[in-house]
Amino acid sequence: MSNSTVVGDLTMISGVDGSVTVGSMPAVRSAYRQTVQRISPLVLTGRDVELAELAEFCVADSGVTYRWLRAEAWAGKSALLAWFVLHPPENVDVVSFFVTARFAAQSDRTAFVDVVLEQLAERLRRSMPAFMSESTREAHLLQMLHDAAHTSQEQGRRLVLVVDGLDEDRGVTARPDAYSIAALLPSRPPCGMRVVVSGRHSPPIPVDVPADHPLRDRANVRVLSRSEHARVVQADLERELKRLLHGGPVEQELLGLVTAAGGGLSCPDLCELTGRSAYEVDDNLRAVAGRTFTVRPDHSRTGMGPDVYVLGHEELHRTAVMVLGESRLAGYRERLHVWADRYRGQGWPAGTPAYLLRGYYRMLHAAGDVRRVVACASDAMRHNRMLDVTYGDAAALAEIRTAHELLLTASEPDLHAMAVLAIHRDYLTGRNATLPAALPAAWALLGNTTRAESIAAAISEPLRLVQALTLLAEVAAAAGDRERLTRYAGQAIDVAGSMAELEPQSWALSRLAASVASHGDLATAGRAAAVIADPFRKVQAQTDLASIRGSGAE
């Protein structure tokens, strides 16, 4: 037996005897700490003074809000900050990002937003924002930084944002429309928040960083001395790298492919690329080259994919690129292209390696391979597979944007390629314009909150988005999740407030206010009623709320 509860335009089934039970929807859990643990040394030696200074800076009641650790390569900056992130001072909450140029999916502003948003969502006990498009992601990040800093402050704690390796940011260019991580860091950290960054003495501060930004204030710079332990590690790693460069065919092949790919290749990927067994590949990567290569967790949405391999240090990557030379690297990249073409010829089937859906495009973009960049960014079947994996088209639209930017840097822009990209962008935008408003709630009922919110984020038409968020709020309410109820309703109010059409806006907010009030959130219902544009509907909604309050309902 089972019973049914009507939720908006959907029927939610709950009960016993095999029926679907809707439980509370869990908040986001970030796996980024696993990445930091693999950067951090097992024991940090010779840095007691620097750790004490960082702790004093983070807990001080006054003074500067930025600290920039600057040093040359192999000084031990990443080791120091990774240790600090894993062992923060008392009453300090840390979110972090380690820019990794040797790992294509962790080296630009997009990756920074993804990683930090996930950590902030976990700290705030939220899921990722439901209404988050390519144009609103950064605004959501800044808002959630504010919310997390405010929450820490209310608890008598302090939020600290740590960003290591600003000099490795692949989004930095000399053009006036650069998109750097540095420019996204708040100029005025909210609610006592502190920011710690690190980087080499060069390159200079990106051109898109405002003139009054704290990063341009030399008073915030702390020159970091070189760690003797880091010097020993450098010698060991460089010696092992040289041995690999002159080693056997398997060692050279694996080194060349990982270097050319920009990192992010898994053991199964390397087996496909080399035709060697998993045992042979894994044995060489883990044992023979155990210190030269480091293992990173899968960064897909599911987080369930195989670990991937990158070179153990940025300077190792630079050295490998220099010693291998462009001719040999071009040969390894050609093998990556043939691999990608094989999957393209199969229509990008289920099980397509994650690297080909993420890192491959970024490698092409970094190499300036315009023809292949445009081909990837306009490949509808590839983007369909990405939709299956990421549950949305945000990544595909971001590829189109960066492809357009690359074309614009040419002395003679390819107008045909730009037209092809524009047509594909319109296609992606159009298919999101017809998504049913009830679809996100249907996925939420099935327990897949991540997919529900990704689909909602793809709805571009304001009225249907408000309807989708209202239904999501009702599903959350039925599951007893008051936090999501309030958050979805708040997002719906924000969207409705920007609608120009009087009647649809008023109708949508009237329904939202009534629905939220019926589940006990009278404060949010009052916000919704206050935004209703039609005077008659507004009075009616406010009268209904006054009646509920008068009846003593909570």
Question: Which of 17-26, 353-362, 393-402 has the least mean pLDDT?
Answer: 17-26
Better pLDDT: 400 or 170: 400
Q: Within a domain: residue 361? A: no
How far from each other are the two terminal CA atoms of the chain, in whole angstroms? 32
Are residues 477 and 485 in contact, defined by beta-carbon separation less than 8 angstroms?
A: yes
Q: How many whole angstroms separate alpha carbon 237 and alpha carbon 241? A: 6
Assess whether 56 and 179 both reside in one domain.
yes
Residues 459 and 427 in one domain: no
Burial class (CB in 10 A: 0-12, 13-18, 19+), 218: exposed
Contact between 43 and 36 under an 8 Å Cβ cutoff? The reply is no
> What pLDDT does 413 receive?
80
Instruction: Specify if 210 maps to a domain.
Output: yes
What phi and psi values does residue 66 have, to the nearest 5 degrees? -120, 145
Window from 123-137, 157-171, 196-210, 540-554 with minimum mean pLDDT: 123-137
Q: Residue 481 has which token pair?
A: 């999740």
| Total structural domains within the chain | 4
Structure tokens at 495: 């969207």
Domain shared by 57 and 130, yes or no: yes
Q: Are residues 182 and 57 in the same domain?
A: yes
Q: Is the pLDDT of residue 170 over 80?
A: no
**Within a domain: 363:** no
**In-domain check, residue 38:** yes
What does the pLDDT average to over 364-388? 92
Q: Mind listing the pLDDT tens digit for each residue in 12-70?
A: 333 333 333 333 333 445 678 877 887 778 888 888 999 999 999 999 998 899 999 99
Which residue, among 410, 472, 484, 406, has the nearest Cα to 445 in the 3D structure? 472
Identify the three-state secondary structure at position 436. Answer: coil
179-196 pLDDT, tens digit each: 789 999 999 999 999 999
- Domain membership of residue 359 (yes or no) is no
Name the DSSP class of 64: -
Whether 282 and 165 map to the same domain: the answer is no
Mark whether 174 and 77 lie in a shared domain. Answer: yes
Q: Where are the beta strands (DSSP E) in 79-151?
A: 92-98
> 7: which strand partners?
10
Instruction: Name the average pLDDT for the chain.
Output: 81
Looking at the fold, whether 269 and 216 belong to one and the same domain comes out as: no
**Does residue 19 lie within any of the structural domains?**
no
Residues whose CB is less than 8 angstroms from the CB of residue 535 and which lie 6 or more positions away in sequence, other chains included: none
Q: Poorest-confidence range of 9-23, 279-293, 409-423? A: 9-23
pTM for this prediction: 0.61
Looking at per-residue pLDDT, the higher value among 378 and 464 belongs to: 378
Quote the domain boundaries for residue 414: 368-433
- pLDDT, tens digit, 9 for 90 and up, residues 206-255: 888 888 999 999 999 999 887 666 665 666 666 666 666 667 788 788 88
Whether 145 maps to a domain, the answer reads yes
Q: Which of 286, 316, 350 is the last residue of a domain?
A: 350
